[in-house]
Amino acid sequence: MVSPGVREFALTAREGTHDMGTGVATPTWGFNGDHLGPTLRARSGETVRVRVTNDLPEETTVHWHGMHLPAVMDGGPHQMIEPGGTWEPVWTIDQPAASLWYHPHPHGATEEHVYRGLAGMFWIDPDEGPDTRLPHRYGVDDVPVVVQDKRLDDDGELDLDDQGLEIGLLGDRVLANGTWGGHVEASTELLRLRLLNGSTARTYGLGFSDDRDFDVVATDGGLLERPVATTRVRLSPGERAEVVVRLAPAERVRLVSYGAELGDVVIPSVFGADDVIDVLEIRARDRLEPSPPVPEVLTSIERLDPSAADARREWELEGREINGQGMDMDRVDATVTAGALEQWTVRSRNPYPHNFHVHDVQFRVVAVDGAPPPPLLAGLKDTVYLEPHVSYDLLMRFGDHADPEHPYMFHCHLLLHEDDGMMGQFVVV
Ligand code: C2O
Ligand code: CU
Ligand code: CU
């Protein structure tokens, strides 16, 4: 029996094999299939119930990245599912429309579980149904694009050796939705791509092969107030951006990673920042259906006043530690009052890449080294790239799911760093 306002999903994590576009059956993991997972969709205000089954030979978890929900439903390292076991989180969606995602979070093994293929998107639709001002037909003019890099060995198996790289696994092929060298066919003038960096380590600078402008309409936690016209969007692991690109009939254009501007990173080539790699080809049909123009105003986002913060905290990321400490499942690093407004100042002290992700909340970047944030950081975010030695002031309002027993995580989303302990825990009380 499905009651109105309740969405039920079943996800089974299992082993399989998948041809990534190389002609070889690569052993992979997936949700409900051989590789990756279905896009789950629910409306703001609906109650979601997911039956998660673990058919893998080892324990795992499923975390709802970007979702505001009770800590015990969060799917972090405290909600392990044994092989053969099930877990059934339930929560009510209480946040704006956004492109979120889900992935495993077992402490010490997240990099490997995601790299093997466990990831999918979770789209929150507005409570009145799809936003018809923007392209919104799934798979037609509104397309998920999970961007991930992989390296295969000579036998066509995923190469799980990070070769001692400081940032972990860095692949030499970039896949879109699990396929290397793939394309989408476009039948409309405007195409909306919901880009997710689902990679373990690589940061992308995404743009089009002819350097055309496109509009960024949303970032991690939902719509920007106004579309931002640009030629590049930088996405570090875990970040999302929704872009709308205009197409001409019969044209072909490629979505390309031009390597990311990583700021002051030493030897960018070692971190993939010099790589120019095709991600996906777009093939426009000879005739394109007209699309309504992108609205000039998309939404309005509540202003948060830094001077009204109830608490301030500072987090320094260095090596594999935050504030000089590695992750300890039994240590709580911050106790937050339910409903509090907090300002977290975050900084990387390394000359190589880190980013910063906070569970449960969407934050606002209110300052970057004291200056107002660039337009692409001005919306709702749950993950932010940290340029080395630059400080980021993040302002966030914590929710009302008080639970002193179950912590939420905050961490670097370069998954090797997270696994190695660059993670802390907070409780909301
Ligand atoms: Cu995307 Cu703590 O995770
Ligand atoms: Cu998360
Ligand atoms: Cu890191």
Centre of ligand 2 to C-alpha 383, Å, is: 8
Domains 6-125 and 306-428 share a fold: yes
- What atom of ligand 1 comes closest to residue 65's alpha carbon? 1
Nearest ligand to the CA atom of 103: 1
Q: What are the domain boundaries of the chain? A: 6-125, 142-289, 306-428
> Nearest C-alpha to atom 1 of ligand 1 is from which residue?
65
pLDDT, residue 2, reads 56
Express each pLDDT in 21-65 by its tens digit: 999 999 999 999 999 999 999 999 999 999 999 999 999 999 999
Collapsing DSSP states into helix, strand and coil, what is residue 307? helix
> CA-CA distance, 424 to 426, in Å (whole number)?
7
Residue with tokens 């380590």: 201
Amino acid identity, position 128:
E
Beta pairing partners, 410? 358, 424
- CA distances (Å), 54 to each of 11, 119, 160, 282, in order? 9, 14, 22, 36
pLDDT, residue 144, reads 98
> CA-CA distance, 415 to 263, in Å (whole number)?
20
> CA-CA distance, 194 to 142, in Å (whole number)?
7
Domain 142-289: assigned CATH number: 2.60.40.420
> CA-CA distance, 184 to 19, in Å (whole number)?
18
Summarize the confidence of residues 105-130 as an average pLDDT: 96
Nearest ligand to the CA atom of 425: 1
Nearest ligand to the CA atom of 239: 1
- What atom of ligand 1 comes closest to residue 76's alpha carbon? 2
Res 141 pLDDT > 70: yes
DSSP code of residue 308: G
> Ligand 1: residues whose CB is within 6 Å?
63, 65, 103, 105, 238, 357, 359, 409, 411, 413
Could you give the ipTM of this predicted complex? 0.99
Q: What percent of the chain has pLDDT over 90?
A: 97
Summarize the confidence of residues 97-120 as an average pLDDT: 98
**Which bin fits 115, alpha (ψ -120 to 50), beta or left (φ > 0)?**
alpha
Res 253 pLDDT > 90: yes
| Domain covering 306-428: architecture | Sandwich (2.60)
Collapsing DSSP states into helix, strand and coil, what is residue 239? coil
94 φ, ψ (degrees, to nearest 5): -135, 65
pTM: 0.98
Express each pLDDT in 201-221 by its tens digit: 999 999 999 999 999 999 999
Centre of ligand 2 to C-alpha 153, Å, is: 30
Centre of ligand 2 to C-alpha 3, Å, is: 28
> Nearest C-alpha to atom 3 of ligand 1 is from which residue?
65
| Domain covering 6-125: architecture | Sandwich (2.60)
- Using CA atoms in the order 61, 63, 69, 72, what is the torsion angle rounded to 10 degrees? 20
